[in-house]
Amino acid sequence: MNYSENKKITGRIHSTESFGTVDGPGVRFVVFVQGCPMRCLYCHNPDTWDFTKGTEMTAEEILDEYEKCREYITGGITVTGGEPLMQKEFVSDLFAKAKAKGIHTCLDTSGAGFSKEKSAEFDALMSVCDIVMLDIKHISKEEHKKLTGLENDGILDFAHYISGCGVEIWLRHVVVPNITDSEDDWYKIGLFASELKTLKAIDVLAYHDMAKPKYKSLGIDYPLNDTPPLDKSVAKKAKETIMRGLKDGLKDGKN
């Protein structure tokens, strides 16, 4: 993010999608920002990692694109990535201008870049955000670092921060064979989720390897080349276990 001569905030954008159906409620206009500090082993957007690539755009330019397909949009705007929190000033500007037009806003994030010490820097963004879709990659700090390259303290803190702001939370978790397929960890995710007052949904996704061709085209080795796609029945079991942890957490803690 930077400021141009006329003081307009710009964001570095990878791409936009005019018909997103898995990025929040309804059919949505999806903005993919460029740049991410994580290196998740199963990432399906490695082309969004580099902070120096992408196209600089203003909120007005994004909203102009939105208006061209507004008649087909039933949900609103979702900003994903890359990692949107790394460009929080731009996303705040975009969401504020979207809200002024009556457009519903959704942030799809891993929570990377948040810290409790600097939480006030995120207040402006939360004030114009209707939903946060937050990925919980792994509940274990050590295993999270192996999976993504970063520890998860700030991410779990971010979940509590969102809840404290009164913003609706949708949690997501991807089940990957031999990495995030522990019943104990699933249950712990549920217990953690029970602490979030504004939690509205939990979505559990089965790992797939459809990103392999993209890695090949970029000349990048695919880290999970020998990992098979997850059977959807395992993802179903994971969600049942997470929900059991959630219910037990709510019962025991009266959250």
Q: What's 79's domain CATH number?
A: 3.20.20.70
The alpha-helical segments, DSSP class H, found in the chain are: 59-68, 88-100, 123-127, 141-148, 153-164, 183-193, 212-218, 232-253
Residues 6+ apart with CB under 8 A from 239: 202, 204
- Residue 254 has a pLDDT of 58
Average pLDDT over residues 167-191: 97
Query: Has residue 113 got a pLDDT over 70?
Result: yes
Estimate the share of the chain in helix, then strand, then coil, as percent rounded to the nearest 5: 40, 20, 35
- Residue 5 has a pLDDT of 43
Average pLDDT of the chain, as a whole number: 94
Percent of the chain with pLDDT over 70: 96
What's the rounded Cα separation, in Å, for the pair 206 and 201? Answer: 17
Q: Could you give the number of structural domains in the chain? A: 1
Average pLDDT over residues 167-190: 97
- Residue 15 has a pLDDT of 96
Residues 6+ apart with CB under 8 A from 102: none
In terms of residue numbers, what domain contains 71? 2-253
- Residue 73 has a pLDDT of 95
pLDDT digit string, tens, across residues 138-158: 999 999 999 999 999 999 999
Average pLDDT over residues 40-63: 96
The reported pTM is 0.93
CA distances from 178 to 38, 144, 175, 182, 239 (A): 20, 13, 9, 8, 17
